[in-house]
Amino acid sequence: MMVRVAKTAGFCFGVRRAVNMAEELAKQHDVLYCYGEIIHNTHEIDRLAAQGVRTALTIDEIPDGAHVLIRAHGVPQSVYQAFAAKGCQVSDATCPFVAKIHRIVAEEYSAGRKIIILGSAGHPEIVGIAGWCQEAMVFETPEELTAAFSEGKLASDDPLSVVGQTTLNRALWDISVKILKKRCTNCKIFDTICNATDERQAEARLLAGESGCMIVIGDKKSSNTKRLYEISKTLCPHVFYIEDAAELKADEITRFGHHAVGITAGASTPAWIIKEVSNMMSEEMKIETGEDFAAMLEESLKSIKNGEKVTGTVIAVSPTEVQVDLGAKQTAYIPIDELSDDPSYKVEENIHPGDEIEAVVVRVNDGEGLISLSKKRVDQLKGWETIEAAKEEHTIVEGVIVEENRGGVVATAFGVRVFIPASQTGVPKDESMAKLVKTKQSFYITEINRQRKRVVGSIRAVQQEARKAAAEKIWETIEVGNEYEGTVKSLTSYGAFVDIGGVDGMIHISELSWGRIKHPSEVVSIGDTVKVYVIGLDKENKKISLGYKREEDNPWNIFTSQYAVGDTAKVKILKFMPFGAFAEIVPGVDGLIHISQIADHRIAKADETLSVGEEVDAKIIDINDEKKKVSLSIRALLTGEGDEE
């Protein structure tokens, strides 16, 4: 089965611009209100809602003074006036092509002409267009237009100015225009159908005609998606209209065998939904995201072409875009996300009005006079040479990790995206790679496929090389007694393994504590930074024995530095034996109170006068340094034995 995705599928220019504005503004405001649905796609609205973009269906739902985003479909002029009265700060995400229609309608109506709008009555775009004049007539079909003349609602000599919904079916527009030219003697026609719509519909026709099955992706409320579905139905026997991959029944598709399957999507369908659907259709097919799913408008300017590298002057910087003067009539701009791949890049620190800037032309449209540019693509072009040289010369590259995905992480270096597989991140399997995001990392370039724009890197290779060099240095200088700061890498029942900077050494359980422990975890944990010293070496077999407990921490040394024979100490009864009781003098050092030294009278058992956990005063009557033993007496304190006269 061959799966083909329309090049024009997904976000058009106006929708992408609106979504980008919403995302940027949401970062700057705790709450951002969008008046009406920003675009016709429930999934995208939900995604933006999670970022703090609230959809308000009425003006009253929006508090006074709030920050408001105008939807891509545009709104009536009265809405702007209402928000001004409420003291709201307004950001306008109206599609530039729709905004142009607003200007046409306002100017034509002011000139005393009747406004005719061809499109879907009640659609948000139509409601917005009609709101820029006092009265407009909307016709959905050529039949309705013909009936208006027959019923006297329109006269042949009426001064008519005609605009169309940007997503109107080109065939319906052409038929309606013929009727108007035939019936009306004073008619001005403004072809306001978006070029992207024409391209999208033309490609849908071509794809549907060559496919045994078509999948049309988009919200059920989307007019342009419905038209793609209608076009596909006329040319393809099997057409599925779905909103997301969850609605796709793969078994229904696979029954068409090896027939070609075409996929197209409405202008409000995000690329991630298209990718989900396409991935379900063909696991082996790799479909690029981003511009491959965007509407590519028809190249029509002779002086400036798509893909051309240009130099211009920055004339304005806003939260969403940078305006650039290219010395042409058209307005050029760079969306904020086309400035740099570096997440730490600060626009206000790097871009200022008057700066000269290099960029690549992404899209040119003379219908609205807009040129979309990308600075980061220039950086990428230069960066490719640097990246290729780094691989050839096996030099280390530094980049910032910008995202994590299921297979690894993505870094940017010199404007080029570098994929680092999970196995090459240097992060253990049981740990999250998310900690790498937004950090600067060093890596080697291991694979380059410029045609597929694929670059693969390895952080692990740099770490291994550094570790090897460090290990060689350590083996050259290591001696018994050397001290190191290391990291606990693993624990076993018999000890702990510690990385001392390139090589591993082991601390035996007996060297972890002066007291008795059952497991190394009682003293250290994996990941702990510890200070160790070398107590044994086997350079031939590359084995190192490490010590952790310090002489200054030796409980016996602590005891002898504080007490001597004849001193009195407060001790804690630990356990009883037939011949007496053991008591703790300091942590790690116990003393024996013989049964004859417990009381000033004869007793048969130690527990007749003492209890476990009880603290009592006892006199130190003997210290055996060689055997590390201490003898104690309570009786001596009771009878005064050994006291000086």
Which sequence positions are flagged as catalytic?
A: 125
DSSP string, 609-632: T--TT-EEEEEEEEEETTTTEEEE
Instruction: Determine the Cα–Cα distance for residues 440 and 399; give it in Å rounded to an integer.
Output: 6
Name 94's Cβ contacts closer than 8 Å, sequence gap at least 6.
Answer: 14, 70, 71, 72, 73, 74, 75, 102, 128
Instruction: Determine the Cα–Cα distance for residues 190 and 116; give it in Å rounded to an integer.
Output: 10
Q: What tokens appear for 56 in the block?
A: 């308000």
Instruction: Determine the Cα–Cα distance for residues 105 and 133; give it in Å rounded to an integer.
Output: 7
CA dihedral angle for residue 287, residue 289, residue 295, residue 300, rounded to 10 degrees: -90
Q: What tokens appear for 605 in the block?
A: 């058992």
Q: What tokens appear for 39 in the block?
A: 């675009």
DSSP state of 43: H
Which H/E stretch holds residue 389? helix 376-393
Name 316's Cβ contacts closer than 8 Å, sequence gap at least 6.
Answer: 322, 323, 353
Tell me the H-state helices in 452-592: 459-477, 555-562
Q: How far is CA 140 from CA 181, 466, 470, in A?
A: 18, 70, 76
Residue with tokens 């329309």: 6
**Residue 403 dihedral angles phi and psi, to the nearest 5°:** -160, 160
Instruction: Determine the Cα–Cα distance for residues 246 and 262; give it in Å rounded to an integer.
Output: 18
Name 575's Cβ contacts closer than 8 Å, sequence gap at least 6.
Answer: 581, 582, 612
